[in-house]
Amino acid sequence: MKLTGAQALIKSLEHQGVEVIFGLPGGAILPVYDPILDSSIRHILVRHEQGAGHMAEGYSMATRKPGVAMVTSGPGATNIVTPLLNAYMDSTPLVVITGQVATASIGTDAFQECDITGISMGITKHNWLIKDANEIPQVIAEAFHVATTGRPGPVLVDLPKDISNATMEFYTPEPVSLAGFKQQIEPDASAVSQAAELILRAKKPVLYVGGGVIKSNGSAALKILVEQTSIPVVTTLMARGAFPDSHELNLGMPGMHGTYSAVIALQQSDLIVALGARFDDRVTGKISAFAPHAKIIHADIDPAEIGKVRKPDVVLLGECRRSIEELTRALTEKTAEANKDYKLPLELSQWHNTIKEWKNKYPLSYDRDAKDVLKPQYVIEELSKRQGEDTILAAGVGQHQMWASQYWQFNKPNTWINSGGAGTMGFAVPAAIGAKVGRPDKTVWAIDGDGCFQMTAQEIVTASAEQIPVKIAILNNAYLGMVRQWQHMFYEERYSEVYLSPDLPDYVKWAEAMGAVAFRVDTAEEVIPTIEKANEIDDRPVVIDFRTDVTERVFPMVPAGASNDEILVSAEHADSVIQ
């Protein structure tokens, strides 16, 4: 069958099972927009290409499928660089297609020419510049394979306009086999056995659960391992929902704004079982002081993560879910051997008691009796209480994100969509829209900051136009709150360029102008009724402008670069330490 390159691209995407493309057309990608009219694939026209990228990420994180975005050359391509970084840092599988100027013009500074393969080299798993229309089916197959295989991540395919217009004979691509792209799925059996021995002998073990558990669909396997062993669990920012918050062995999030029990349990443990986690600096604090007495079992699919930060004692190189399953199997086998006095669940009552004391002594807390101000934590708690377990929550970046992670009750994987490694302000609105496109059956909320909201709010227009009923709670503290918090604590309250204003813009009017239903909430009494009203709206986007306490800070907090032992549990504690 003779097709144009553009038709071949769309057909190849259909063959990959693509349901939706987030994009925005322009000169160099124009030929590809014509066959979209005849395709079964839904195209969602965004208002800014950054929105397309984050929507594709949100879609992917909610559905576990790769997200697809398509943009034109030059500024279209550079506008999607931020989502590429974001997806690269958080291992989200994305296939981004960029138009490019005609091959003969490449290298001549032609109109809207941009070396996007050069720019994106360091923030994609791989990228391709197609130089022959005949390559299209094969390259697209490779692009999806690379994006979704092993540690997932973004890829980019750059398609010059003359290639889109050229004709080619369409074919079904060969099964992808790339000589330089290999993954180890199954962990080494002897390493599994060594790991099981360490676990059986541990007195103060912790399961340090990272995003890899969610990527590998390992939540059910993890639950079995926890119940088999009774080892306490911490779930990183990327892993919230990988293990239910309702389970008493879940200590919550570790790290800079983690719970006291999660941070200190890691610090004092004698064995850390890292499952798809990468010892990020936001988790470890000062690395030389991190968990000084712990042996490390590191399970990860990416060999380059092993020993990058902390040298492991046992390496489980392979797919995270398989490593967890193999650990369970090995533990069962070893305890069944008659001559061993190992037993399951592990005898950890002392460790459990210590942790329980920490939990009781230092729970997450805020001033629940505050009269005149609306506490952001309260808003999140009430919002969370009024959701089913299946509700998906997206967040922006800043204080509101940390509070969302701390106070929302996550009980299922793939219900938490946030920007971890890159910390991209403006992620929430488009990511929520993408998630809702992928899971129209689920309620999707976003908790956003006023600063973040202003970066990508225009995508609410997309949501209204495409009838994507997402719900957005702005925790409007009139500030770039997280930066304000640092200036408060580490720059002697010298607030520099962080004030935004509570009512410029008028969020209600702005949201309404974009086709959303909008509410303003100033007091605690209005919180519940307004959430209930918002929950009932299902035919268009809803925005709630919550006017929250300007001065509230996120605690606990481990100051950047400090040891986790220096955790500050509350504002009073912080103010007594930092003068």
Partner 1 sequence: MESKNHHIVSALVENKSGVLARIAGLFARRGFNIYSLAVAPTNDPNLSRVTIVVDVEASLLSQVVNQLDKLINVVEIQELKPTDAVERELLLATVECSLSKRTEVIQIVTALGGEIVDVNLSGLTIEMSSSPDKLDALEELLSSYGIIKLQRTGRVALPRLTKESDTYTNQLKLA
Ligand X SMILES: Cc1ncc(C[n+]2csc(CCOP(=O)(O)OP(=O)(O)O)c2C)c(N)n1
Q: Which CB sits closer to partner 1, 160 or 232?
A: 160
Q: What is the residue whose two structure tokens read 């610090």?
A: 267
Rounding to the nearest 10 degrees, give the CA dihedral for residues 352, 355, 360, 361. 150
**Residue 394 · residue 427 · CB < 8 Å:** yes
**Residue 219 · residue 287 · CB < 8 Å:** no
Q: What does the alpha-carbon distance between residue 137 and residue 566 come to, in Å, rounded to a whole number? A: 55
Verify whether residue 387 is a known catalytic residue: no
When asked if residue 480 is in the footprint of ligand X (CB under 6 A), the reply is yes
When asked if residue 424 is in the footprint of ligand X (CB under 6 A), the reply is yes
Residue in 285, 238, 290 with CA at minimum distance from that of residue 269: 290
- Active-site entry in 49, 113, 142, 381: 49
Give the H/E segment covering residue 69: strand 67-71
CA atoms within 13 A on the CB side of 461: 12
Among 173, 423, 505, 515, binds ligand X (CB under 6 A): 423
Query: Where does this chain bind partner 1 (CB under 8 A)?
Result: 117-118, 121-122, 125-126, 129, 146, 178-184, 302-304, 306-308, 315, 317
Q: Which CB sits closer to ligand X, 212 or 434?
A: 434
Q: Which CB sits closer to partner 1, 35 or 152?
A: 152
Q: What angle do CA 470, 474, 477 make, to 5 degrees?
A: 175
When asked if residue 401 is in the footprint of Mg ion (CB under 5 A), the reply is no
Q: Give the range of 48-56, 81-89, 443-451, 538-546 binding Mg ion by CB under 5 A.
A: 443-451
Q: What is the residue whose two structure tokens read 């209005």?
A: 526
Among 408, 479, 519, 546, binds ligand X (CB under 6 A): 479
Chain residues 173-202 in contact with ligand X, contact rule CB under 6 A: none
Q: What are phi and psi of 543, to 5 degrees?
A: -125, 130
Count, residues near Mg ion per rule CB under 5 A: 6
Among 449, 502, 556, 559, binds Mg ion (CB under 5 A): 449
When asked if residue 254 is in the footprint of Mg ion (CB under 5 A), the reply is no
When asked if residue 375 is in the footprint of ligand X (CB under 6 A), the reply is no
Q: Which amino acid is at 469?
A: P
The distance of closest approach from Cβ of residue 219 to ligand X in the complex, given in angstroms and rounded to an integer, is 28
Q: What does the alpha-carbon distance between residue 366 and residue 33 come to, in Å, rounded to a whole number? A: 52
The distance of closest approach from Cβ of residue 387 to Mg ion in the complex, given in angstroms and rounded to an integer, is 23
Residues 6+ apart with CB under 8 A from 182: none
Verify whether residue 482 is a known catalytic residue: yes
Task: Give whole-number Cα distances, 252 to 222, 246, 257, 349, 503, in Å.
Answer: 15, 10, 11, 19, 35
CA atoms within 13 A on the CB side of 26: 26
Verify whether residue 49 is a known catalytic residue: yes
Chain-centroid distance, C-alpha 213: 13
**Residue 482, contacted partner among partner 1, ligand X, Mg ion, none, CB below 5-8 A by kind:** ligand X
When asked if residue 450 is in the footprint of Mg ion (CB under 5 A), the reply is yes
When asked if residue 434 is in the footprint of ligand X (CB under 6 A), the reply is no
CA atoms within 13 A on the CB side of 194: 15
Among 477, 485, 530, 548, binds Mg ion (CB under 5 A): 477
When asked if residue 381 is in the footprint of Mg ion (CB under 5 A), the reply is no
**Residue 49 · residue 76 · CB < 8 Å:** yes
Verify whether residue 471 is a known catalytic residue: no
When asked if residue 475 is in the footprint of ligand X (CB under 6 A), the reply is yes
Q: Which CB sits closer to partner 1, 177 or 349?
A: 177
Q: Which CB sits closer to Mg ion, 301 or 455?
A: 455
When asked if residue 405 is in the footprint of ligand X (CB under 6 A), the reply is no
Count, residues near ligand X per rule CB under 6 A: 19
Exposed, middle or buried: residue 534 (CB in 10 Å: 0-12, 13-18, 19+)?
buried
- Active-site entry in 111, 248, 490, 525: 111
Q: Give the range of 11-19, 59-67, 319-327, 418-426 binding ligand X by CB under 6 A.
A: 418-426
Q: Which CB sits closer to partner 1, 118 or 561?
A: 118
When asked if residue 396 is in the footprint of ligand X (CB under 6 A), the reply is yes
Task: Give whole-number Cα distances, 458 to 80, 259, 433, 452, 464, in Å.
Answer: 16, 35, 12, 12, 10
Chain residues 405-424 in contact with Mg ion, contact rule CB under 5 A: none
CA atoms within 13 A on the CB side of 9: 33
- Active-site entry in 482, 489, 514, 557: 482
Q: Give the range of 198-206, 255-263, 362-370, 481-489 binding ligand X by CB under 6 A.
A: 481-489
Among 261, 477, 487, 530, binds ligand X (CB under 6 A): 477
Exposure string for 133-142, b = 16+ CB within 10 A, e = fewer = bbbbbbbbbb
**Residue 122, contacted partner among Mg ion, ligand X, partner 1, none, CB below 5-8 A by kind:** partner 1
Verify whether residue 112 is a known catalytic residue: yes
When asked if residue 450 is in the footprint of ligand X (CB under 6 A), the reply is yes
- Active-site entry in 14, 19, 65, 112: 112
Bridge partners (DSSP) of residue 155 are 95, 126
- DSSP letters for 432-461: HHHHHHH-TTS-EEEEEEHHHHHHHTTHHH
**Residue 321, contacted partner among Mg ion, partner 1, ligand X, none, CB below 5-8 A by kind:** none
When asked if residue 449 is in the footprint of ligand X (CB under 6 A), the reply is yes
Q: Give the range of 16-24, 249-257, 444-452, 558-566 binding ligand X by CB under 6 A.
A: 444-452
Q: Which CB sits closer to partner 1, 129 or 374?
A: 129
What would you measure as the largest C-alpha separation in the chain, in angstroms? Answer: 76
- Active-site entry in 11, 125, 161, 215: 161
Bridge partners (DSSP) of residue 95 are 68, 155
**Residue 356, contacted partner among Mg ion, ligand X, partner 1, none, CB below 5-8 A by kind:** none
The distance of closest approach from Cβ of residue 302 to partner 1 in the complex, given in angstroms and rounded to an integer, is 7
**Residue 286 · residue 387 · CB < 8 Å:** no
What is the x/- site pattern for Mg ion, positions 28-67, by CB under 5 A?
A: ----------------------------------------
Please report the sign of the dihedral spanned by the C-alpha atoms of residue 326, residue 328, residue 329, residue 334. Answer: positive
Query: Can you give the binding site for ligand X, defined by CB under 6 A?
Result: 396-400, 423-425, 449-452, 475, 477, 479-483
Active site residues: 49, 111-112, 161, 482
Query: Can you give the binding site for Mg ion, defined by CB under 5 A?
Result: 449-451, 477, 479, 481
